[in-house]
Amino acid sequence: TLTAVNTFIDCIGSFVESHNMLSGKFFNYTLGDIIFYFRDLTHENLSQVSELGLLKPDIDSFHVKNRLGYGMCYTHNDTSEFSCNAPSVSFSIDLEHSKRGHIGTITVNLKSNNIQIEGGAEVQFDLHWLPFLTISDMLARPQ
């Protein structure tokens, strides 16, 4: 599953990159007399999903847990060497005033690692029966 998710992320990144969809000015936002032009978005190592658990039973069959690990860094067992290919995104924002013209450029570099997101929920039906339900059963009695 992790390989499929990371491959999909790579595929989307390659498609966007090959079509130059985020090169040059790709989005603008106006706030009063100032226009923000977002341009030249680049990315590296986006396919770093290291853990993915969706709707995993927890405690009993009425509680489920979701878990996502992204950009995890590890130390090697034999050495104290730290290895990480942290996901990163960079872009620039050109600021233009409607009367004064270009007033500046902001460059943004975002790099992240060791992100873990976990959430849980309680469902109102026993998940053990889920594989035996048909779509028509679920549509007949929506909750």
Higher pLDDT, residue 107 or 72: 107
Most confident of 10-14, 18-22, 68-72, 111-115: 10-14
**How do residues 112-134 score in pLDDT, each as one tens digit?**
878 887 887 766 666 666 667 67
Residue 24 φ then ψ, to 5°: 70, -160
Say how many Å lie between the first and final Cα of the chain, rounded.
29
Identify which of 45, 49, 67 has the alpha carbon closest to the alpha carbon of residue 58. 67
Q: Give the rounded percent of residues in the chain with a pLDDT score beyond 90.
A: 23
Identify which of 34, 16, 33 has the alpha carbon closest to the alpha carbon of residue 91. 16
Residue 65, both tokens: 């847990």
Question: Cα(19)–Cα(88) distance, rounded to whole angstroms?
Answer: 20
**How do residues 64-82 score in pLDDT, each as one tens digit?**
788 888 887 766 566 556 6
Assess contact for 111 and 103: CB atoms under 8 A: no
- Residue 20 contacts by C-beta under 8 Å, 6 or more apart in sequence? none
pLDDT, position 55: 73
pTM listed for this prediction: 0.62
For residues 7-17, give the mean pLDDT.
88
b/e 62-99 (16+ beta carbons within 10 angstroms → b): eebeeebbbbeeeeeeeeeeeeeeebbeebebbebeee
Residue 18, both tokens: 């090959």
Give 83's Cβ-side CA count (13 Å radius). Answer: 7
pLDDT, position 21: 80
Question: Cα(139)–Cα(66) distance, rounded to whole angstroms?
Answer: 24
